[in-house]
Amino acid sequence: MPLHPLYGHEGPRNRLAGAIASGRLPQALLFEGPRGVGKQRLALWLGQLLLCERQVEREPCGECRSCHLALALQHPDLHWFVPVEVIKKGADADKQVDLVEEALALEMAARRHQPLYEAAPGLASHGIASVRLLLRRLALTPAMGPRKVFIIGDAERLIPQQGAEAAANALLKALEEPPADTVFLLTASEPEALLPTILSRVMRVRLARVPDSVVASFAQHELKSAGSASKQREMAATAEGCIGKLLATAGAQSGDAAESYLTAVRADPTSRYAYALRQPAYQARGAFTAMLDELLELLRAEAHEGATSQVVAALARVLEAREMAQGNVNPQLLTAVLSEGLGGGGGGAV
């Protein structure tokens, strides 16, 4: 599924496109603004524009091979780094880089499946292994065009690590003197949390909140659950000019998903496994783990009303599934096994 169109931010878009046309675009920029205002989507738009084979009126054409690949998050010269949570610890440095690369690939697969993604988990970060992976890719020659674009989303989650100063210094050096074929695009909701040495090496671009009319237009065209025009206006007002906040509100329907799941697993085997097969076959995080959290709350409420051995056992199974969901677990398999445990009359651990 391709990325949704970029809504709003016409002023920054025009200035950035003008800077490209005149050859004055800095090689390292920082997009900063409120959480959910669209910083990473603007960075992706700029990356697509930089890689587009034939721009149309200072916009990506949307038709060339590079545009199609960029919109599908599959362009080999567009490197999008987002905070990730690596569960396996204690591996050597090279193995840690491989684990980060795998986690990023899974996250990009999830975002290709559902481009309207939610915020990264609270424990996710850009650790030193992410920096080493970035430096490894920085050394590559562009695969399709004259340049590479690196997007570092939520850059305030860059974590310095004692004993890894060489990699951190190499990143700072790259930001200060990027290779001629490279553009860095960082985003941050809390720019002051970045190291002063990073802030001194980037051109800062402040993004303002978008008008409610723009948020309402996004809801109308991109959200199936937006409902009537009055509902769209209500959602836009709640979002306070941040489409990401609108998505978080719209995505907060996991309680309904948990109730649907519990109803399915307590019905019959066909319902249980049909629900399991509907789970996307990528890393079990995001909406899936949110559903498990809501499922825990539902079961705790049942236990409060009158704890039975079945409810206590179900709580234990869901807690174990929640822990497993942070690793490389197929949600279809995890849901199927958990369903059997919750609705199959007992037997077996998750």
Q: What is the CATH number of domain 10-206?
A: 3.40.50.300
Contact 228, 306 (CB under 8 A): no
pLDDT band, very low/low/confident/very high, at 327 (cuts 50, 70, 90): low
Q: What is residue 65's predicted lDDT score, i.e. its pLDDT?
A: 97
- Asked whether residue 338 carries a pLDDT value surpassing 50, the answer given is yes
Percentage of the residues of the chain whose pLDDT score is greater than 70: 82
Lowest mean pLDDT among 2-6, 71-75, 116-120, 137-141: 116-120
In the numeric block, the tokens 């051109």 are attached to 203
Contact 154, 50 (CB under 8 A): no
Lowest mean pLDDT among 96-105, 190-199, 309-318: 309-318
Q: What is residue 349's predicted lDDT score, i.e. its pLDDT?
A: 37
Q: What is residue 163's predicted lDDT score, i.e. its pLDDT?
A: 63
Contact 171, 131 (CB under 8 A): yes
Q: Which residues lie closer than 8 Å to 32 by C-beta, 6 or more apart?
A: 39, 187, 188, 189, 191, 204, 205, 206, 207
Cα gap 210→236, rounded to integer Å: 10
Q: What is residue 16's predicted lDDT score, i.e. its pLDDT?
A: 98
Contact 43, 244 (CB under 8 A): no
Residue range 166-186: average pLDDT?
Answer: 88
pLDDT band, very low/low/confident/very high, at 47 (cuts 50, 70, 90): very high
Q: What is residue 90's predicted lDDT score, i.e. its pLDDT?
A: 65
Strand ranges of the sheet holding 28-32, from the earlier edge strand across to the other edge: 78-81, 148-152, 182-188, 28-32, 203-206
pLDDT tens-digit map of 246-287: 876 655 444 466 777 777 777 767 666 666 666 654 444 566
pTM of the predicted structure, to 2 decimals:
0.73
**Ranges of each domain in the chain:** 10-206, 212-251, 254-343
pLDDT band, very low/low/confident/very high, at 165 (cuts 50, 70, 90): low
Q: What is residue 272's predicted lDDT score, i.e. its pLDDT?
A: 63
How many other CB atoms are there within 10 angstroms of residue 63's CB atom? Answer: 12
Q: Which of 144, 136, 133, 137 is nearest to 69 (CA)?
A: 144
How many other CB atoms are there within 10 angstroms of residue 345's CB atom? Answer: 8
